[in-house]
Amino acid sequence: MRRTRCAGTLNPKRSPSPVRGPGSPAVARSTERNPRLTRCSVRIACSMAALVGLLLLEAPTVQAAAPILSSDDRALFQKALVAMDRTKWKRALDLTRRAEDPLLHTIAKWRWLSADDGLASWRQARDFHTGHSGWPFAEQRQALAERRMPANLPTSDVIDWFERFPPLTGPGQVRFAETLAAGGGDVDVTVEARDAWRSGDFQSAEIRPFLQLYGKYLSDEDHAARLDHLIWERQWGAALRQLRRVSADVQRRGTARIRRGRRSSGVDAAVARVPQALISNPGLVFERARWRRRSGMHERALELLSEPPGELGPRPDRWWFEVRVHARRLVNAERHADAYRLVSAYAGLDGVPGVEANWLAGWISLRFLGNNSSANRHFRKMRSAVTMPVSIGRAAYWTALSSEGDEESVRWLDEAAEYPATFYGQLATRCRERRVAVPPVPAGAVDMADWQSLPEVRAMLLLAEHGRHRLARSFARQLAGTAESLAEVTSLYRLLHVTGHTHLGLAMLRKATRSGLYVPGLAFPDDVYPSAFNAVEAEVEKALLLAVARQESAFQVGARSVANARGLMQVLPSTAKFVARRERMQYDQQKLSTDAAYNVSIGSRYLAGLLEDYDQSYPLALAAYNAGPGRVRRWLRRYGDPRHGEIAMLDWLELIPINETRNYVQRVLEGLAIYRSAVGDGITGQWEMPLTCPR
């Protein structure tokens, strides 16, 4: 029977209730509806009214439900997805063209045009991008359209296109300038051409035609700037070809940089040939410092990094990576003054490098050098540069620790405590002798039908239902950018949660937070796979298991990492086999990725063993769960054992040299506090993070 045309239906048994509790920061963002969503909602009266009623129920049980496809469409789509995965675009397009639901063909075109196999026409690229500019990977499709633009395209069409979509490629930038100049616009095409050449995106086949037209206008400085850009971006092949276009001295410098960067032979001779006037070039200094560090020549690398050039070039993040590695090595060697001098030289950087440099400089100054005023200056500078809740809580907490006087410390602790869903916000809350509470979900909501009617949402759900979670996540993040209010973020999350795609909802929330739409009360779901978490026999509190699964897999049963860790608890097959043998359980590798209860059972038993090994110290056990027990043993020998009072637990955590593990432990611990508030029984799970509070 032919089904009624509808954007899609959902049929959950029960719906998710918001995580409840008092105390969260006020967020001054609009809760009005997005007109784009409101207009779309009219199209989806089919079954959503019943669903919205169900969403008011408490104690949800999540049931997966994707937009409905006929059995024929489902079979076609599955075959088409396999063809897309194998880049057989013609077959995928042919298959989806036969489908009853036109969205399937749209998805196939989206993947084809985003991949650019070289066969798409200008009209195809233009039409799709114009109608779907809000779909993921828009920049790839726009660049494709720019490159397929016909030479004889009417001037008005060229101008209309670029006024709507400003050029992304070098050829596009020049084409727009040429068209404006031809129409009498006040544009210097040669200036635009030079700018495009210095840092524009050119494909190999585009370079010769460009140089034939504009090569005579390009200076030695333009060619040198392009070489510099290509080397910083690690486009080694293009950089080698660019060498022939620069002066002899710049060529020697570029050759030395490339050989250092690629760790090729003859690096010393290449550097020796660089003229003395060019030896202090930031790019060359960076490559030399990086090469020395990778070759184990740490002290010689420090000689170059300790006095950075006045201008670091376009990639300060690369410099900061090198500095951070050496700074932590110096701290490990108890050369704290040297570490501070190194890091503080980079505290003036903008963006993330500057934020991290100021925190590290402040921490070293406070905890190892005992200089509160210097530390406080760095932490305040960090606070003025951050906007994310985790970073605000961190900056405010450490500013409180370094502040002189009770009033000042209390003020900063209170600011950190405004973010109770973050690790440092929770520490600040406890320092103020308050209870960490689950943040409430803001009042007001947008009808989920408003979201469900959007093609992007239907595409996301279809891709997730068919196992293409990476592609589905790209839609979730993109959709987060279209939300204009907390109510819209809330309704989109609930839609994803109730359809069994909580992992997509959490990805969307993270992206929304970066846009200033912070809804922490949704970020800790406690109703996912309840039978799996309630049936655990290992002596591990449920709150901890939920916090680990949330951080490991975002509650995605089929999650699989690049390291081959699998399932909700991201257990390696080798670890699962070891645990199964130790616990006299049956080992089934396939069930790690398909059976939530089995995965949680294995993971909880492994975690219980780690907790026993580390005397129920959660941070140590979690660090071992993420990085391995061998590393934790090494760190305990290197930094001291916080269980025996040799070092404060907080400092031990911040000394963890692996960024991922350091972040992992803090994120799980903050989740633990929230889940205890939501599902804790008040009996199990009495461990708490030892406090470090202002004196």
Residues in Cβ contact with 439 at an 8 Å cutoff, skipping those fewer than 6 apart: 19, 21, 23, 24, 25, 420, 421, 520, 521
Q: Which of 192, 418, 456, 552 is catalytic?
A: 552
Buried b vs exposed e over 507-517: b needs ≥16 C-beta within 10 Å? bbbebbbeeeb
**Residue 40's Cα: distance from chain center in Å?**
30
- Residue listed under structure tokens 């492994």: 606
Find, among 3, 157, 19, the residue nearest to 440 by Cα: 19
* Spatial contact of 473 and 496, defined as CB atoms under 8 Å apart: no
Q: Are 14 and 57 in contact (CB under 8 A)?
A: yes
552 is catalytic: yes
CA 246 to chain centre: 38
**CA 147 – CA 450 distance, rounded (Å):** 36
Q: HSE on the CB side for 402, CA within 13 Å?
A: 28
Residue that has been written with the tokens 């026409």 in this structure: 121
Cα separation, 300 vs 306, in Å, equals 10
Residues 6+ apart with CB under 8 A from 253: 274, 275, 278, 281, 283, 284
Q: Is 237 exposed, middle or buried (0-12, 13-18, 19+ CB in 10 A)?
A: exposed
Among 87, 92, 151, residue whose Cα is nearest residue 118: 87
Which residue type does 681 have? D
Burial of residue 360 (CB within 10 Å: 0-12, 13-18, 19+) is buried
Q: What is the DSSP string of 644-689?
A: GTSS-HHHHHHH-S-HHHHHHHHHHHHHHHHHHHHH--SSS----P
State the catalytic residues: 552
